[in-house]
Amino acid sequence: MKNAPRFSALHYRDFRLFWTGQLISLSGTWMQSVAQGWLVYSLTKSPLYLGMVAASASLPILLFTLFGGIIADRFPKRTLLLVTQGLSIIPAFTLGLLTTLDVISVWHVAVLAAMLGTINAVDIPTRQSFLIEMVGRGHIMNAIALNSAAFNSARIIGPTIAGLSIAYLGIPACFFINAASFLAVIFALSRMSARGEITVKSEGVIKDFMKGLRFVSGNKEIVRVILLIAVFSFIGLPYITLLPVFAAEVFHRGAQGLGFLVGSSGVGALSAALIIAVKGNIENKTKYMSVAGLCFSCALLIFSLSKTFWLSLVIVLFGGWGMVSYLASANSYIQLSVPDELRGRVMSVYSFVFLGTVPIGNALMGFTADRIGTTNAVFVAGIVCILASVVFAKKYLFHWGRARSSVIPGKKI
């Protein structure tokens, strides 16, 4: 697909509907993420609690997403997504109601975050594996990039609106807007013709589960890609949960500063997604991933040392570019490597590593920040991520001539 047209996935009506609904819904989700972080920090003034609440949101993904992949392969994906999006309204609306009534406690936030995380354990692998059924294998890279563009456009829109909403309307407004935003995806799904084909008959939960794991463990290149994702998710990405501390204590910018920090990361992430979408394809994904991984890791280290707000916005922007460039390339690399009947399970492994390790990382980062200071904790995380990125890039970037051996046999990637 070297000469694929730009934004080719948008030629498909189903994908256009899905993409539009996602953009609206994810903007609400990012509003809630910023508001929730600010709420927890306002209640506790503790980076430890920020880490623990973030952990409660992602712990169910660690526990259940591999089984969510089995469900994604067993049932029509469109039906599953209608169910998960409908259920996602409940925790958002409840959070808004409890905050409005001024009876909210940290444990309420943690329980509702865990409820949403449980829903996402099924939603995420279903959504990832549904993309290829809307656009086909030839346009999957473009679909992933555009899906990432929607996610990261929302990452700019949501936090920016959240910062203003918190300042002028109050925190509950963010939660209620998020609850309403899920209706956009439900409407889009109801108008789609694609249903999400069931391509495999179940051989039992354990056999289905092990078949997906055997495929991943038997492919050394996929293992290398996933291991670096694990390091980023466990050590690197948890810094996002500490941004309220940076906004309040390091830069003294309050809720609006937090919105700008998250939004700046979103600008970088969006630019990464759009670059991939415009290119249509990346000829050597492993080399591209190597550069992107090093960019994210170095940005994380420099951010921990910066004391200037506007400089930090630029640094976070480059970090966002590196993270999304790596993840989008890794996602398409894995999807093009997997047979259709295993896609849901393999993508659940991807989701498990990408999101499932985050609860442990968030808890560890929160504990570490509480003990040695927030900036020191992020500094250490940056060092670890740089070391892991260098190990990954040693084969693909520093010995590029060998990297072509990682191209999927019989496929132009």
Instruction: Residue 149: give its domain's CATH number.
Output: 1.20.1250.20
- CA–CA dist 230, 213 (Å, integer): 16
For 62-83, write each residue's pLDDT tens digit. 788 777 777 877 788 888 999 9
- Kindly tell me if the per-residue pLDDT of 295 is higher than 90: yes
Q: Which is more confidently placed, 50 or 229?
A: 229
SS3 of the chain: CCCCCCCHHHHCHHHHHHHHHHHHHHHHHHHHHHHHHHHHHHHHCCHHHHHHHHHHHHHHHHHHHHHHHHHHHHCCHHHHHHHHHHHHHHHHHHHHHHHHCCCCCHHHHHHHHHHHHHHHHHHHHHHHHHHHHHHCHHHHHHHHHHHHHHHHHHHHHHHHHHHHHHHHCCHHHHHHHHHHHHHHHHHHHHCCCCCCCCCCCCCCHHHHHHHHHHHHHCCHHHHHHHHHHHHHHHHHHHHHHHHHHHHHHHCCCHHHHHHHHHHHHHHHHHHHHHHHHHHCCCCCHHHHHHHHHHHHHHHHHHHHHCCCHHHHHHHHHHHHHHHHHHHHHHHHHHHHHCCHHHHHHHHHHHHHHHHHCHHHHHHHHHHHHHHHCHHHHHHHHHHHHHHHHHHHHHHHCCCHHHHHHHCCCCCCC
Within a domain: residue 175? yes
Residues 6+ apart with CB under 8 A from 210: none
- Domain limits for position 295: 8-191+201-406
pLDDT value of position 401: 45
Within a domain: residue 134? yes
For 128-173, write each residue's pLDDT tens digit. 778 877 887 767 777 877 887 787 778 778 877 887 888 888 889 9
Per the CB < 8 A criterion, the answer to whether 308 and 407 are in contact is no
Calculate ∠ Cα 102-43-313, nearest 5°: 120
Residue found under tokens 């504990």: 367
* Tally of domains in the chain: 1
Cα dihedral sign for 362, 346, 15, 276? Answer: positive
Within a domain: residue 2? no
pLDDT-wise least confident of 49-63, 179-193, 369-383: 49-63
Angle formed by the axes of helices 47-74 and 343-351, nearest 10°: 180
Within a domain: residue 196? no
pLDDT value of position 409: 39
For 193-227, write each residue's pLDDT tens digit. 765 555 555 555 556 556 666 776 666 788 888 88
Which residue type occupies 399? Answer: H
Per the CB < 8 A criterion, the answer to whether 47 and 363 are in contact is no
- CA–CA dist 160, 158 (Å, integer): 6
- CA–CA dist 321, 150 (Å, integer): 14
- Kindly tell me if the per-residue pLDDT of 60 is higher than 90: no
Q: Which is more confidently placed, 292 or 366?
A: 292
Query: pLDDT exceeding 70 applies to what percent of the chain?
Result: 84
For 217-274, write each residue's pLDDT tens digit. 666 788 888 889 889 988 888 888 788 888 888 888 877 788 788 778 878 888 887 7
Within a domain: residue 413? no
On average, the pLDDT of the chain sits at 81
Within a domain: residue 206? yes
For residue 16, the tally of other CB atoms under 10 A from its CB is 16
pLDDT value of position 340: 65
Within a domain: residue 412? no
- Kindly tell me if the per-residue pLDDT of 411 is higher than 50: no
Residues 6+ apart with CB under 8 A from 129: 69, 72, 73, 77, 343, 344, 347
Confidence of residue 48 (pLDDT cuts 50, 70, 90): confident
What average pLDDT score do residues 278-301 get?
A: 83
Within a domain: residue 150? yes
